[in-house]
Amino acid sequence: MAILNITYNGLSADYPVPLDDKIADRDVRRIAVELVRSGGVPGLQIANLSERAFDNYVIDRFGPRAGQRIYLRPKVPFGAGARR
Amino acid sequence: MHQGEVCFLIGRGGAILWSDASNSAVLLPDSRARWEAIWERRAELEEIAHSHPLGPRAFSSEDETTMEALTSALGRPLRFSVVAPEGMIARQEGRNVRVGEEPWWAALLRLASGMTRARPRPRAGRPRAPRRR
């Protein structure tokens, strides 16, 4: 069992989910969209949440494989990139 | 002088709440510590500023997607800004505005980034007549 933490719309909530420890990032994002749509995450229900709501989010994983904590948070890099 | 991108979290009254820096003049990589600093200070956070030591005075595509992600996570709009050699630009209420009178911390952000402010270009116009002696 893993604990998935989702931060969205000013709220941060934990949700215990039976996830494979090797679950891909894209699948974590997809599951998070479904959880938020269905109201599975306490205090965070958005029925019409976009499929792409978490496209610009990253996943941090902590702890042992069993009981892993998975954080879905917004990415925060900035950068000028190559000069235009 | 070494140049690197720098990020400031700005609170009420222009207070610098937190900062971090990169070794690169064109990139401030993703950082969980930066995200935690933003989340922990969200109640007092008003603006997130970063530098483009080599320019441009514009938001990059990386900046755009990061601003979008942060706005959705925090659930409220923030002011974002870029400080570059040629000046400062801010995104406020969905619009980009040139910042004429820079806040006090912009000079500090330039200094920390190893950046100097570019001198304004002379305006195009009629050439002046040579002085008579």
> Higher confidence at residue B120 or residue A47?
A47
Q: Best mutation site among B35, B65, B115 for testing chain A: the one with the most A CBs within 10 Å?
A: B35
pLDDT average, residue stretch A29-44? 92
Domain B6-113 of CATH type 2.60.40: no
> Higher confidence at residue A66 or residue A9?
A9
- Confirm whether A29 is domain-assigned: yes
Distances (CA, A) of A32 to A8, A25, B37, B86: 10, 11, 23, 42
> Higher confidence at residue A80 or residue B126?
A80
pLDDT for B125: 60
| A36 confidence band (pLDDT: 50, 70, 90) | very high
Query: Does the pLDDT value for residue A62 go beyond 80?
Result: yes
- Confirm whether A79 is domain-assigned: no
B47: amino acid identity, one letter: E
Contact B49, B5 (CB under 8 A): no
pLDDT average, residue stretch A15-38? 92
Task: Give A1→chain B minimum CA distance, Å.
Answer: 23
pLDDT for A41: 86
pLDDT for A6: 96
Q: Best mutation site among B72, B91, B115 for testing chain A: the one with the most A CBs within 10 Å?
A: B72
Distance CA B105, CA B49 (A): 10
| A79:B63 CB<8 A | yes
- Confirm whether A70 is domain-assigned: yes
Longest dimension (CA), chain A: 47
Burial of B128 (C-beta count, 10 Å sphere; 0-12/13-18/19+): exposed
Retrieve residue B64's tokens.
């755009």
- Confirm whether A84 is domain-assigned: no
**Which residues on adjacent β-strands are paired with residue A3?**
A16, A69
ipTM: 0.92
- Confirm whether A69 is domain-assigned: yes
> pLDDT below 50 — which residues of chain B?
none
What sign has the CA pseudo-torsion B79, B69, B75, A71?
Answer: negative
Helices (H), A6-72: 25-38
> Higher confidence at residue A58 or residue A42?
A58
Please state the pTM of the whole predicted model: 0.90
Instruction: State the total domains in chain A.
Output: 1
- Confirm whether A81 is domain-assigned: no
Domain that holds residue A33: 2-74
Q: Which of residues 12-71 of A touch B (CB under 8 A)?
A: 12, 53, 56-58, 60
Delimit the domains of chain B by residue range: 6-113
pLDDT for B120: 67
pLDDT for A84: 42
Query: Does the pLDDT value for residue A83 go beyond 50?
Result: no
